[in-house]
Structure 1
């Protein structure tokens, strides 16, 4: 006679109850996520889903903003940070020593080439010039007397009154005095030049800086600081560097004889400061940085550029017409670059494209789009293939909301999508 263990029976019933609970939960989940959405409510048209089910949520239009693909000018622009440099910088120094008598400029003043800047005590140099001129006159008188004697000796020699040797000696004396005359003239010119150096003039046109020496001081040609510095700011130049990978495109444009435009912006890269042109490039690449130094020229008529100023540089290498869309419309996924295209029925299509150069807010499209097609630029996070959209704006133009449909008709979003598109789209 055998008896079942009561504990073992309870374990069997517990396992069956556990499996029953699992099956019930699975059936409930299937009904909640699949069967409930698929089954239309009582009185609804066949195929309709509940408004709060997953299918109903997927069927709701997504509000989006659109832009139209159109032909635009796409520029190949290189960005860099540059330093403004004076076209010419001159340290004005004295070429003679003496007391600085007067200064004829104001600090920060604009001067023209040849303007008088300072004067040095000229008395010492005037005395040297007078002495040289006196010596010149003395030797000139001796030369004149020697030439007259030479003419007399030649006459007497023709009359056989004196020997040839005496005539030759007089000719040598005349030549000696003529050499002294040339030396005297050089001494006079040198003294006059030294005297002219006591008047210091501007060698170039530009703006003077702060003076380095005050009136009344003794200065000389060995002073390294000089009197003042002049910087030529009209025109002015900007130096910057380009990566060696971009050097080939720039050099190709220059060899073709094209003028490359350079645009400068402030340190915040917001306000445009000036427009100029690329002037020259260096003859070698810096091996430590792999960059090529270039220089651009600017007229700087308003003097907004100041020497040693840091600026943001945009070098426009080339520009061409191409089909373009806003860069915000271009998405990247496993299929590569793509955009969401909205057709005339306000349905979404995922369109793979071949994107080209990016020019600020625009991106060129080489393949995959046609001019006039509309792409989504805002609201892409909930879009799917074949989904419907509610158009909020097109090319920045806000659309007025359409009136809500009557009960039993289309939803407000569908009515807006159908009737809100502007003419021509």
Structure 2
């Protein structure tokens, strides 16, 4: 019995010893290192500059009031198409009290002067018919009457303009705001009852409406100073609009500003580009957009992820995979890059697998 117990103890001890040895070996054994790899494939590399901006009409006209007063009635709203000369709004004139009193006084004085000139002309006409005065003297009084009559009409027109905002005799009504162009009404920033001021040399005046030709849209944006020297007018653009997903619009660069503007520490240059019309999509003014300006491109060339490149004093190289976890240094010649993938001119073949650090 004792002999059997001793044998069992020896077996248990040997088992524990074997388990401990196996555990220590497994703990000290390092797993094989795994490396990320990339393949050399054919593709297109496009080097481009990116401009951020928005879509705006090429021609947008702001219609302002020519008189001060209160908006009596609006005849249009945003989104309507109007013709040139269409009535947009009517302004109820609130005349300046001092100017109105002055105009009334001038008109009354002009009426009195015209009336006195008419009486004097009638007296001189009678004397002329009786041949008591010469024709030249008579004509002088007739001319004076005509001048006084003209002054009366002029003062009346001025009074009507200040009081009513228009001249009934000439048919020109300045309190009627009319469109000067054909297009779509983009915005009517005033409401009925709002107070408006006239536009003059000292005052910009109140905007009644903005009108634009929505069939001729352009992209306006900015590019960084590091890229502006690489672009030129006439270059093609691919424009993506935030509100229209999965669609690009063609454009042609028309303008590059000769002067940069410093914004948040960066110098930006304004650019403008014509958008090729697309009847299938509705483009609205103010859409945010990005434009890719193609600087250079390579089609059907060998390309590789730029992360796989390594640099030394001798040049650029990659670690090409020869076998399982086996890599060899291979010098390469690179070409155009788009910031993610780069053109491989020579050094490795299509389909080669290289290590990515």
TM-score of Structure 1 vs Structure 2, range by shorter chain: 0.5 to 0.7
Question: Bigger radius of gyration, 1 or 2?
Answer: 1
- Equivalent position of 1:169 in the other structure: 137
Distance 1:218 1:332 in 2: 67
Any idea what the Cα deviations from partners look like across 1:323-348, whole Å, max 9, x if unmatched?
732242783113543468899xxxx9
The range that moved more, 187-196 or 350-359, is 187-196
Q: CA RMSD in A?
A: 5.1
Alpha-carbon deviation of 1:230?
3.9
For structure 2, list consecutive stretches of 5 or more residues without a partner in the other structure. 1-31, 96-102, 200-204
SS in 1 for 2:309: strand
SS in 1 for 2:89: strand
Distance 1:115 1:313 in 2: 37
- Equivalent position of 2:293 in the other structure: 315
Distance 2:211 2:65 in 1: 14
Within the candidate set 304, 307, 332, 2:309 is matched to 332
Alpha-carbon deviation of 1:315?
1.9
Question: Residues 286 and 107 (structure 1 numbering): CA distance in 2 closer, same or farther, change over 3 Å?
Answer: closer
- Equivalent position of 1:221 in the other structure: 197
Residues 95-106 of structure 1: matches in 2 within 5 Å? 95-97=66-68, 100-106=71-77
Question: Residues 249 and 238 (structure 1 numbering): CA distance in 2 closer, same or farther, change over 3 Å?
Answer: same
Residues 25-424 of structure 1: matches in 2 within 5 Å? 67-68=41-42, 75-97=46-68, 100-120=71-91, 166-176=134-144, 179=147, 184=153, 191-192=167-168, 195-204=172-181, 205-209=183-187, 212-214=190-192, 217=193, 219-222=195-198, 226-230=207-211, 233-250=214-231, 253-254=232-233, 259-267=234-242, 271-287=246-262, 289-298=266-275, 302-307=281-286, 309-316=287-294, 318-319=295-296, 324-328=301-305, 331-333=308-310, 334=312, 336-338=315-317, 351-359=330-338, 363-365=342-344, 367-368=345-346, 373-376=349-352, 379-381=353-355
Alpha-carbon deviation of 1:290?
2.4
Larger strand share, 1 or 2 = 2
Distance 1:230 1:269 in 2: 24
For structure 1, list consecutive stretches of 5 or more residues without a partner in the other structure. 1-53, 55-62, 383-425
| Length-normalised TM-score, structure 1 | 0.48
- Equivalent position of 2:16 in the other structure: none
Distance 2:351 2:243 in 1: 32
Distance 2:150 2:351 in 1: 89
CA contact (8 A) 2:47 2:336 kept: yes
Any idea what the Cα deviations from partners look like across 1:65-124, whole Å, max 9, x if unmatched?
55248xx6x5441013223445455554432356645432234334344332223469x9
SS in 1 for 2:285: coil
| Length-normalised TM-score, structure 2 | 0.56
Larger helix share, 1 or 2 = 1
The range that moved more, 182-191 or 280-289, is 182-191
Alpha-carbon deviation of 1:260?
1.8
SS in 2 for 1:242: strand
Alpha-carbon deviation of 1:243?
2.2
- Equivalent position of 1:35 in the other structure: none
Distance 1:359 1:269 in 2: 25
- Equivalent position of 2:19 in the other structure: none
Which has the bigger relative contact order, CA under 8 A and spacing at least 6?
Answer: 2
Distance 1:177 1:110 in 2: 51
Alpha-carbon deviation of 1:310?
2.9
- The number of equivalent residue pairs is 277
CA contact (8 A) 2:38 2:355 kept: no
Distance 2:343 2:245 in 1: 24
SS in 2 for 1:106: coil
